[in-house]
Structure 1
Amino acid sequence: MDDPILKLKEKILDLTASQRKVADYILKNPMEVAFLTVDQLAGLVGTSTTTIMRLTFSLNYTGYTEFQKGLQELLRNQAAPHTRLEANLKGVSENDLWTRCAENQISNINKTKEIISNDTLMRVLDMVMSSNRVYCTSVKSGLPVAQYLTFGLNRLIGNCELIVADQSDWVDLHLNLDSNDLIIATSFPRYARRIVDFVSQAKERNAKIIAITDSYSSPLIKYSDIVLPCNSGSLAFHNSPIASMVVADYLISAIAINYPDKTKARLDKVNEVLTKINYHYNNN
């Protein structure tokens, strides 16, 4: 079966900015798009029908109708997980904020899992392990992701540094970047200019870039070698880092599991030092 979602993921970095907005909406709302007219989709995204048609042409469809039929067929074969989640949400009381918040995060994680492929994640692991130095950067709502990644990667491979983009004097650092270095940048709306500045300058130095962001319309996209799109919606006003934290946790776990020959010796040495200085609380 022809998979329009897979074709969209493979092509998305080659699309124009306006086409990426359409693609991002489709990836996040496939069930809705499967039954929208081209005019309705254009109105929701805020673009033209011509942009949508050109997008479908670039995916080798004869037009929006053929693309939509492929999407409908795909969703019919995958209907159970989506409809089950929707049914669960409908049964939640309006007053049960705790449950709604938890279900929202589960939905964010599930949607993120559907968008990011295993092949993409394996490319990220290879990029991390082949880099001389890794720099994780973010500000505000994305900062916990950068901090968590920095701790985990540094504990495993010892070459990772945290850069708080709006506080650190990264200009001096950027002068020493080269093609053997990797930047992992996390940013959600409203995207911080300093992160974009840092990433754009790093790209000029030929550093590799991985973006953890909410959509393919993010300003980080045009500088990125790999994009990890993570749903960041919350029930309130803020961006939620939960789905992206799951991605970060996967990367740390996958490196520890897939590269034991490169990580076990370091972990043993760290544990030896911590034991020697009696770092952990002992209640015996």
Structure 2
Amino acid sequence: MTTFIDKIKLKYHTLSSGHKKVGKYVLDQPQEVAMKSASQLGKVIGVSETTVIRFCYALEYSGYSELQIEVRKYLIFHKSSLHYYQAVNSEDSSQSNFFVKSMQRDQDYIHAVIEQINEEDLYRIARRIYDSNNILVAGVRTSFALANWLSFTLNIVKGNSHLIQPGVDDINYLLSNLDNQSVFIGITFHRYSSMTLDLAELAKKQGAYVIGITDSILSPLNEFSDIILPINLSTSASATSTIDTGPAVLSLINAIVGGVAIIDKEEFKRRREEYEKFNPGQFLI
């Protein structure tokens, strides 16, 4: 069955700018759509009631009421991503090969990402990272571990990479050092982090090349990104949890780091040898 999510994604690129604003809001805040009138929704989004209604017509609904009914039904049957994560694992728990099934799902998600990515975009991203003089990586909540791994591995193969850690770093100082030779990489998924979005916007204003890793071309991170990697593992907003997304994102990140490493194999070899000179045990005393 085709949902309002499918319809918005299918027609998004043909919509007017006003209708796109409505579409983004409907995808990001379906709970608000379920509760508000067309007039109230328009005020929140910053468009007219007429624009909201015409958006519904553009999706081939008879009006706002039909869209609202579908959204309400959707919210009844689709709970949080954690609910989905629990449900899938509970279903598999009755089987003797639970751990194999879990890892096979990760395989399926990675294959889904492979089908979506544009290899030329990955080459472009790897080259831009390699040519940069300063790399800032940001991600919070479920994205923090991914951002940490990306920054860590980039430091091994390239150097000059810094993971933004709120409460530890002087963020104003880090941002002030960005210029048009710098790269900012933001990682955020549905229930998008306002902090990551704000940092991406500020990095863009500083002239940095902004790379966005997110879950959809409709993500608000797209607004501030020079290039975006949309990792869409589902046909509906709650079909997978952010926990499920992790292994596929990590695989993509490793591919990007590998791409940076092979641009100058001799330099990578030199950096690896320098890195391996240190005995980590001496810092554990």
Q: TM-score scaled by structure 1?
A: 0.62
Residues 183 and 210 in structure 1, CA contact (< 8 A), matched pair in contact too: yes
Letter paired with 1:105 = D
Residues 232 and 242 in structure 1, CA contact (< 8 A), matched pair in contact too: no
Q: Are 2:265 and 1:260 equivalent residues in the alignment?
A: yes
Residues 214 and 231 in structure 2, CA contact (< 8 A), matched pair in contact too: yes
Residues 108 and 231 in structure 1, CA contact (< 8 A), matched pair in contact too: no
Letter paired with 2:137 = C
Range with bigger deviation, 105-114 or 126-135:
105-114
Q: What corresponds to 1:272 in structure 2?
A: 277
RMSD: 3.6
After TM superposition, give the deviation of residue 278 of structure 1 in Å. Answer: 5.8
Q: Distance in 2 between matches of 1:182 and 1:200?
A: 13
Q: What corresponds to 1:84 in structure 2?
A: none
Q: Are 2:226 and 1:225 equivalent residues in the alignment?
A: yes
Deviations 1:2-53 (A, max 9, x none): xxxxxx9xx97x995739969xx9xxxxxxxxxxxxxxxxxxxxx646369x
**Gaps in structure 1 of 5+ consecutive residues:** 1-7, 26-46, 53-88
**Gaps in structure 2 of 5+ consecutive residues:** 1-8, 28-54, 61-87
Q: Distance in 2 between matches of 1:252 and 1:159?
A: 14
Q: What corresponds to 2:186 in structure 1?
A: 185
After TM superposition, give the deviation of residue 143 of structure 1 in Å. Answer: 1.1
Residues 182 and 208 in structure 2, CA contact (< 8 A), matched pair in contact too: yes
After TM superposition, give the deviation of residue 271 of structure 1 in Å. Answer: 1.3
Letter paired with 2:220 = P
Residues 213 and 228 in structure 2, CA contact (< 8 A), matched pair in contact too: yes
After TM superposition, give the deviation of residue 126 of structure 1 in Å. Answer: 0.9
Q: What corresponds to 1:18 in structure 2?
A: 20
Deviations 1:170-200 (A, max 9, x none): 1222122111110111001211111111111
**How many residues of Structure 1 are paired with residues of Structure 2 in the alignment?**
208
After TM superposition, give the deviation of residue 230 of structure 1 in Å. Answer: 1.9
Q: Are 2:255 and 1:250 equivalent residues in the alignment?
A: yes
Deviations 1:92-124 (A, max 9, x none): 968335454333322221121111111010000
Q: What corresponds to 2:197 in structure 1?
A: 196
Q: Distance in 2 between matches of 1:208 and 1:103?
A: 36
Q: Distance in 1 between matches of 2:252 and 2:120?
A: 14
- What pairs with 1:1-284 in structure 2 (closer than 5 Å)? 16=17, 18=20, 48=56, 50=58, 95-96=94-95, 97-165=98-166, 168-231=169-232, 238-239=242-243, 240-274=245-279
Range with bigger deviation, 172-181 or 203-212:
172-181
Q: Distance in 1 between matches of 2:126 and 2:255?
A: 10
